[in-house]
Amino acid sequence: MISPGSEATKDHGRAVITKDGAKVASVPLGQIDSVVVSSKAHLSMPLIFALLENGRQIFFVDSFGRLCGALGKEQVSLERFETQRAVFTANQNYWIRYVINEKLQAQINILKTYAKRKKEIALADIAGQVKLYKNKLMKHDDINELRGLEGQAAKCYFSGFAYILDPKVWTWTGRNRRPPRDGVNALLSYGYTLLERDLRIAIAGAGLDPRLGFFHSNNGRKDSLVYDLLEPFRQPVIDRFILKLLNLGIFTPADFELANGGCKMKLATKKRWFERYEEYLETPFQEFQGMSPRQHIRFWVEKFGLFIFDRGIGDE
């Protein structure tokens, strides 16, 4: 990612990134899959042309990490679009159960980890309750019933935060948003927004059409597949990171402020958060088979796309 204040130029087959007059990176063009450019960053025109000539896409995001646009050849052909639609339509319930199952398993993993770490039996009990919801997935075909199970499991999972977070520092009353009413929820909402950015890029790279999903409504008002595929990554990528930061005391209630009926990060807090988030996304972890979270997301979505297009079926 080309961060604010940075400049990227082309130098004999390499992309050279400088910031404040100092070189911070030099990468062969052949090793670049795609480039993400944040606001107040600069790409030279020769580098832009070199990336486009090599079939690389350039994504532009705003200061909130939201995708504003992209340059480069679209990876979605009409044939792939029709294949994607046919697969999702043929076995919609299978795909819904698949992403919910992944999500609930990630919730169970986090609850069990903190139950062991904090020696808190209540967390183990909550993990057991989420597992019961997970086991019920295969017994239901109705989409509304599947959504209901996901919602019940989420409420149960987030109740565990009261035992994970330090009660002397944080008062946890449950998940809330639009707007978030406390610092923890503000971090979760902002984290999911940044996760959406990386997922959009991964979906584009896999040649999938973000508008066509299977879980969220395909009403043309939002990119349904982005929100469908967010579900398996919320807990293992974002919640895991945020809970660690909060338990280490890196962020406290003093880092937030109330505004417009909600809670948001202070400007200095947001900058500090973004720096830590970017560092985290590029750090390899054993939980992701030695890959960084960003690599894990792209690898997972790429495999998902290959299954869709190579097999062309959604059979269990």
Angle at 111 between CA 106 and CA 112, to 5 degrees: 95
Cis peptide preceding 179, ω within 30 of 0: yes
Letter for the amino acid at 79?
E
The whole-number pLDDT of residue 174 equals 92
Residue entry with tokens 């019933």: 145
Tokens at residue 76, please? 């979605």
The whole-number pLDDT of residue 116 equals 94
Residues of the chain with pLDDT under 70: 1, 3, 33, 62-67, 73-76, 217-221, 311-316
**Cα distance between residue 124 and residue 152, in whole Å:** 17
Residue entry with tokens 């590029």: 282
Domains 6-71 and 78-311 share a fold: no
In CATH terms, is domain 6-71 a member of 3.20.20.70?
no
Strand, helix or coil for residue 125 = helix
The whole-number pLDDT of residue 65 equals 53
Q: Of 206, 193, 285, nearest to 34 (Cα)?
A: 206
Angle, to 10 degrees, between the axis of helix 143-159 and the axis of helix 121-136? 170
Instruction: Provide the sign of the torsion angle of the four alpha carbons 244, 247, 251, 253, taken in this order.
Output: positive
Angle at 84 between CA 83 and CA 89, to 5 degrees: 100
The whole-number pLDDT of residue 312 equals 46
Letter for the amino acid at 226?
V
Residue entry with tokens 């480069």: 72
* Cβ pair 292, 283 in contact under 8 A: yes
The whole-number pLDDT of residue 41 equals 85
Residue entry with tokens 């520092």: 169
Model pTM?
0.80
Report residue 51 CA to chain centroid gap.
25
Domain spans of the chain, in order of start: 6-71, 78-311
**In what side-by-side order are the strands of the sheet with 57-61?**
34-37, 57-61, 67-71
Angle at 128 between CA 127 and CA 132, to 5 degrees: 115
**Cα distance between residue 279 and residue 245, in whole Å:** 13
Strands 22-28 and 42-43: unpaired
Q: What is the pLDDT of residues 107-127, one digit of tens each?
A: 999 999 999 999 999 999 999
Fold of 78-311: Four Helix Bundle (Hemerythrin (Met), subunit A) (1.20.120)
Q: Alpha carbon of 137 to those of 216, 224, 302: distances in Å? A: 17, 21, 25
The whole-number pLDDT of residue 219 equals 65
